[in-house]
């Protein structure tokens, strides 16, 4: 089973930058998007063989997630059941017979850490949500989690210590999540690899110089480790300031 996650930073823009070619080449069983920046009816995707699930933000041109799945879900949930967080189209949960599968677009703490308190509250609410799911079935979730967890997940750690996505507060929340029974699948296969990034600023030739951040993840319940076969990042695929990330798993 091949799974792909990609923050497209505006799906309509990505469509003009080769999105459908990348979609076909990656040939995923489940393909997840974050930051679609769409409202319902603004795009029609012709994806034969895939069920489509969309979660739109109430604010136009903002946030938004989608899942395209060859496997029909038993049920689908939008949001995490918390009123203060469910207006921005950030989470879709699909239930399958053997697990829950989620795509997630975590709030950015923003310049000057203006939204860090909101982000911290989100982290607590999201962890409660996935632990609740995990009590029923194992969980796989993916997406732009807007945090580089370790110093090896960012090109310039020292100069970014108080920047959104690399504050100690955000990194500690990721540590707490992983210590709650979840596995960062890329680090499961590549525990100390450096220079592996999934996002680059559009400024300062960052992608050309590989001055990036690893902020896009596949995370699974620890008890799924035996089904993992590979985790990859696809920096060769353009079309966004992020690149796709991949997880392959054995069927149950």
Q: Which of 134, 144, 153, 216 is catalytic?
A: 144
Whole-angstrom Cα distance, residue 225 to residue 64? 29
**Which alpha helices (DSSP H) does the chain contain, by range?**
11-15, 19-26, 116-134, 168-178, 185-189
Name the active-site residue from 50, 100, 105, 217.
Answer: 105
SS in 3 state form for 41-56? Answer: CCCCCCCCCCEEEEEC
Show the tokens assigned to 50: 């895939």
Catalytic site residue 98? no
Closest to 239 measured CA to CA, from 4, 7, 3: 7
Helix (H, G, I), strand (E, B) or coil at 152: helix
105 catalytically annotated: yes
Q: Could you tell me how far CA 80 lies from the centroid of its own chain?
A: 15
Question: Which residues does the annotation mark as catalytic?
Answer: 105, 144
């Amino acid at each position: 089973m091949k799974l792909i996650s990609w923050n497209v930073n505006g799906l309509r823009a990505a469509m003009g930058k080769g999105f459908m070619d990348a979609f076909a080449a990656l040939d995923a069983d489940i393909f997840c998007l974050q930051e679609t920046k769409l409202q319902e009816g603004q795009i029609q995707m012709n994806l034969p063989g895939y069920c489509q699930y969309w979660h739109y933000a109430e604010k136009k041109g903002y946030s938004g997630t989608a899942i395209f799945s060859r496997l029909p879900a038993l049920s689908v949930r939008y949001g995490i059941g918390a009123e203060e967080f469910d207006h921005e189209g950030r989470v879709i949960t699909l239930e399958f017979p053997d697990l829950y599968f989620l795509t997630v677009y975590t709030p950015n703490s923003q310049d000057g850490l203006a939204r860090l308190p909101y982000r911290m509250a989100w982290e607590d609410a999201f962890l409660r949500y996935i632990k609740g799911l995990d009590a029923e079935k194992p969980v796989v979730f993916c997406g732009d989690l807007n945090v580089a967890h370790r110093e090896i997940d960012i090109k310039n750690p020292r100069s970014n210590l108080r920047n959104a996505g690399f504050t100690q507060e955000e990194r500690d929340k990721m540590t707490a999540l992983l210590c709650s029974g979840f596995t960062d699948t890329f680090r499961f296969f590549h525990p100390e690899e450096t220079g592996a990034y999934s996002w680059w600023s559009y400024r300062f030739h960052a992608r050309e110089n590989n001055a990036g951040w690893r902020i896009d993840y596949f995370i699974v319940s620890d008890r799924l480790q035996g089904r993992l076969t590979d985790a990859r990042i696809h920096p060769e695929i353009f079309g966004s300031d992020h690149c796709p990330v991949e997880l392959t798993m054995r069927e149950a």
